[in-house]
Amino acid sequence: MILIKNIKAYTPQFIERCDILIGGEKVLSISQEINIDPNLLEKIIDGNDLVATPGLIDGHVHISGAGGEGGPSSRTAELPVERLIEAGVTSVVGCLGTDGFSRSPKEVLMKVKAIREKGLSAWMYTGAYQVPTPTITGEVGTDLALIDEIIGTGEIAISDHRSSVPTTQELIRLAEHTRVGAMLGGKGGMINFHMGDAKDPFKPIHEIVRNSELSYKQFLPTHCNRNDYIFKDSLQYGREGYIDLTASSYPYFPDIEVKPSKAIKQLIDSGVPIEHISMTSDANGSLPLFDEKGDLVRIEIGLPKSLLNETIEAITEEGLPPDLAFMPVTANPSRILGLKNKGELKQGYDADIVLFDANWKINSVIARGKFVR
């Protein structure tokens, strides 16, 4: 067992001082004071100058590689696990992306298994931009019902010139099969939508809800800060459904994108419930810039650490209290995606913990009860 003594914690709710006892992969207890025989402990950590938070959950990462919009040489390679750990990410959800033709969800699945072997927690979406979307078993519902690591479908492209332009009925059928397969497999069953640059970007989702028994809560539209007009629409959409912000692209397109840390503050100020907001890195995917004709101008590649950087800047630059700032990358994605025992420091939950110093620099990372950094 490991005992962390006298530490300030954001669970994400604030605790002024507490002790945290870890045993196996779980948090055994969080209390004001824990007294236990030192002979039973592997390690005792003095937390007096440290801050504990849940490990970050990055719910949208191209772990097995992505890209290709600029030709074969623009394809990205697999993401090293070390890039996740240095960002304080202890749980990750992989996805395919643009290339559902030459890449396969099987590649993502094997990378998920590799990440799990390295001590982190990992899951994936089945599918890619296209509808019909590539799967492992031949159908999204079967993938969800039978394959443990698959928790949803995505990222499906809508409102984008790279989308296959699925009809409302095609999207409804995809969502219904995802929902039923997830029910059978005990999964969250979220549809992750890649949101493009088309005007009125949320229209396809509104059409799904109007023409079916599905609700806004089955969809997670991402890249909602990619330009000013989709973000403006997000201020209204986010009151009904979930909003996912992309962290890694902002440094490359500052004149186009809304800075994620600022976006979180603006969403909250506009009346969007904090529980509806998540933030992901979109790391290791290509970050293409297209001109008005749809021609590729340049491609960048994002990093998982952008997720941590934007979270800290929401605190230091935007003035958000840490308990709110960490929710979009801890408790919220856990609940939205249906990741059991994740996203909170709580008795019985997985021991995924990041220890920071007073300046929000990472001191240590614990994943499933073991130090990985």
pLDDT at 292: 78
Pairing of strands 362-367, 353-356: antiparallel
Are 96 and 103 within 8 A, CB to CB?
yes
pLDDT, mean of residues 58-62: 98
CA-to-CA separations, 247 to 1, 227, 244, 308, in angstroms, rounded: 35, 13, 10, 9
- Which structural domains are found in the chain, ordered by start? 2-53+343-371 (2.30.40.10), 56-337 (3.20.20.140)
Are 27 and 347 within 8 A, CB to CB?
yes
The Cα 46–Cα 136 span in angstroms is 47
Q: Which residues are catalytic, by number?
A: 282
Residue 216 identity (one-letter amino acid): Y
The Cα 309–Cα 35 span in angstroms is 36
- Which one, of 8, 44, 5, 2, lies nearest residue 356 by Cα? 8
Residue 26: strand pairing partners: 23, 350
Residue 279: strand pairing partners: 245
Q: What percent of the chain has pLDDT over 70?
A: 100
Q: Indicate the pLDDT class of residue 258, thresholds 50, 70 and 90.
A: very high
The Cα 13–Cα 54 span in angstroms is 10
pLDDT tens digits for 292-303? 777 777 777 889
Residue 184 has pLDDT above 80, yes or no: yes
- Other Cβ atoms less than 10 A from the Cβ of 28: the count is 18
The single residue listed with the structure tokens 């059991």 is 340
The Cα 266–Cα 317 span in angstroms is 13
pLDDT tens digits for 120-165? 999 999 999 999 999 999 999 999 999 999 999 999 999 999 999 9
Mean pLDDT of the chain: 95
The Cα 310–Cα 259 span in angstroms is 8
Are 335 and 275 within 8 A, CB to CB?
yes
The Cα 152–Cα 20 span in angstroms is 33
The Cα 128–Cα 163 span in angstroms is 10
